């Protein structure tokens, strides 16, 4: 077996064993990993406690045990309210992306290999103990030769190879699940894994994070209330990122903020406006706005850090969001359904009447509430629950957008419980709608539409000629694929295997009974008892295994 294949097989077996250890055997079956653990070893290896773990807790523990890529997958899924019920979201949100720090000598070796000079020449001071250590990299405080204080982020040695191996394996498992599990295809699990892989690979590239920081700095160049750290490109590569150090009070340290004399309501409004500008004006937003990434500097300026995860709302998506908001404002359920589906959420047949009814109730529940009483988190969670209930698929950037708005509201509420982010929305929504309906913009769009129509008209005769020629030659083929049979076939295979195993067990029992009564050879009577005992033991083990497999499957 080639080394790469052997390594993949070992990793697949490890994944299967971890899932089984946490009572997630159904995932082993869905992902086609049974062949790697034929005897289902290691079932009871997780930490014990008096009260049993819930299924979401087991999933979180399994992901933590599997390492960096799987922790990131759990954090990614925690944002997907369109895919997972709230209990799983809450538990996966607890995933800690922390890891034991890499020794300082290894980190310095990476820096020297990347930047081509000894650390002692690159920095006037370099702290070997990290400020923070995560599964992908760790951050160290340092001082440049000119006295500038910086933070140096260094990617962990070997993490890319491990992540790439796991991403490749994840994609294989997703394809397998899509063939055997109808919901996996309904929710486009392959597409979700591909989106996750793009997101994670972007986080691994510190050059991209540096460019993200510079883009935020450009967007807020005229806003003195925001401080985006400067990137030092001469000290930056894909594995090393050197940023200006932000100093201040963490925004969730309320005692320190009060002691310093800051107005927390004013700070809440400032943070909310920063994030609203990112979402509704710039279309480029910080997708991980938790309190640890916001600092309040001595003059009240808000400093931001960690630009590895960002979201983008492009022009067409902003247009569709504007249509959705307009339909909401007009309480038009039919237009609301159209705008909702145009966001790209429909992958297959959608029951428009049921969706229309759900959206109508949604509008009625929230429409007449004063903005000062409106909380965005339950509103957005209900919208995402509708998406999940109708088996729709929300593009990742829209999920990140909803998550960012909810986190902004939570952050503002922590600073000032009486502050409502919803009161800021009308101004941003109004500007978004005005931008969409600017006459100059419509003229530009109509000109492009005219060019596309002309191009289509020129291409149409050629396309029709090809179609008719293929029809005349008998080469026209229609591809059809029956859906829904794969899970049934897989279930029948499992049922057949268990039936055969049960028949074998019954045959052993009957055979042993017959032998006990009929097998009477002179001279070996004393062996009959031990032989029967051995046979009975083997039969009992086989029967116990059969019962265990049936109980584990959840189908008796």
Q: Where in the sequence numbering do the catalytic residues fall?
A: 288
Q: What is the DSSP letter of 345?
A: I
Sole residue written with tokens 């969730």 = 252
Return the percent helix, strand and coil in the chain, to nearest 5.
65, 5, 30
Kindly give the residue spans of alpha helices, DSSP state H, lying in 220-259. 254-259
What is the distance between the alpha carbons of residues 63 and 22, in angstroms, rounded to a whole number?
10
What are the backbone angles phi and psi of residue 125, rounded to the nearest 5°?
Answer: -150, 140
Q: Do 293 and 322 touch, CB atoms closer than 8 A?
A: no
Picking from 289, 281, 267, the residue whose alpha carbon sits closest to that of residue 404 is 289
Q: SS3 of 472, please?
A: helix
Distance CA 332, CA 335 (A): 6
Alpha-carbon distance of 173 to 190, in angstroms, equals: 9
Q: 108 and 119 in contact (C-beta within 8 Å)?
A: yes
Counts for the chain of helices (H) and strands (E), in that order: 22, 11
Query: Would you call 416 exposed, middle or buried from its count of C-beta atoms within 10 A (0-12, 13-18, 19+)?
Result: middle
């Amino acid at each position: 077996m080639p080394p790469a294949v052997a390594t993949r097989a070992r990793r697949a077996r490890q994944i299967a064993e971890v899932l089984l250890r946490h009572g997630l055997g159904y995932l082993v079956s869905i992902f086609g990993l049974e062949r790697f653990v034929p005897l289902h070893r290691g079932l009871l290896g997780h930490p014990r406690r008096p009260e049993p773990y819930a299924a979401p807790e087991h999933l979180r523990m399994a992901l933590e045990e599997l390492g960096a890529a799987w922790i990131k997958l759990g954090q990614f899924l925690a944002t997907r309210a369109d895919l997972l019920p709230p209990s799983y979201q809450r538990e996966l949100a607890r995933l800690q992306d922390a890891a034991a720090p890499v020794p300082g000598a290894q980190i310095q070796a990476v820096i020297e290999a990347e930047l081509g000079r000894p650390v002692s020449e690159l920095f006037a001071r370099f702290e070997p103990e990290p400020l923070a250590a995560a599964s992908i990299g760790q951050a160290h405080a340092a001082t440049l030769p000119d006295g500038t204080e910086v933070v140096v982020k260094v990617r962990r040695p070997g993490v890319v190879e491990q992540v790439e191996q796991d991403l490749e394996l994840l994609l294989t498992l997703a394809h397998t699940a899509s063939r055997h599990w109808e919901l996996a295809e309904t929710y486009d699990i392959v597409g979700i894994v591909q989106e996750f892989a793009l997101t994670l690979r972007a986080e691994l590239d510190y050059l991209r994070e540096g460019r993200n920081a510079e883009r935020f700095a450009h967007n807020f160049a005229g806003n003195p209330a925001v401080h985006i750290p400067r990137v030092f490109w001469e000290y930056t590569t894909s594995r090393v990122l050197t940023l200006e150090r932000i100093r201040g009070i963490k925004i969730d340290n309320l005692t320190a903020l009060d002691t310093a004399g800051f107005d927390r309501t004013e700070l809440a409004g400032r943070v909310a406006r920063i994030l609203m500008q990112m979402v509704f004006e710039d279309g480029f937003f910080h997708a991980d706005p938790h309190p640890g990434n916001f600092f309040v500097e001595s003059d009240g300026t808000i400093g931001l850090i960690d630009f590895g995860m960002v979201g983008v709302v492009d022009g067409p998506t902003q247009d569709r969001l504007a249509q959705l908001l307009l339909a909401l404002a007009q309480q038009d359920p039919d237009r609301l359904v159209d705008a909702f589906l145009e966001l790209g959420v429909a992958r297959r047949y959608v029951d428009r009447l049921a969706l229309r009814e759900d959206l109508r109730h949604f509008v009625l529940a929230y429409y007449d509430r004063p903005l000062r009483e409106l909380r965005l988190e339950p509103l957005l969670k209900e919208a995402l629950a509708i998406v999940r209930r109708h088996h729709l698929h929300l593009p990742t950037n829209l999920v990140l957008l909803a998550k960012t708005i909810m986190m902004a509201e939570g952050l503002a509420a922590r600073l000032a419980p009486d502050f409502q982010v919803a009161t800021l929305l009308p101004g941003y929504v109004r500007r978004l709608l005005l931008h969409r309906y600017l006459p100059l913009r419509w003229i530009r769009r109509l000109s492009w539409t005219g060019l596309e129509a002309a191009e289509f008209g020129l291409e149409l005769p050629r396309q029709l000629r090809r179609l008719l020629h293929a029809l005349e030659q008998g080469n026209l083929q229609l591809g059809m694929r029956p859906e829904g049979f794969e899970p049934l076939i897989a279930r029948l295979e499992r049922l057949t295997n268990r039936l055969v195993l049960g028949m074998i067990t019954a045959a052993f029992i009957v055979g042993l009974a017959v032998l006990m009564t009929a097998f009477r050879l002179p001279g070996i009577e004393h062996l009959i008892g031990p032989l029967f005992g051995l046979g009975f033991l083997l039969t009992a083990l086989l029967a116990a295994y059969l019962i265990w497999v049936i109980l584990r499957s959840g189908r008796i």
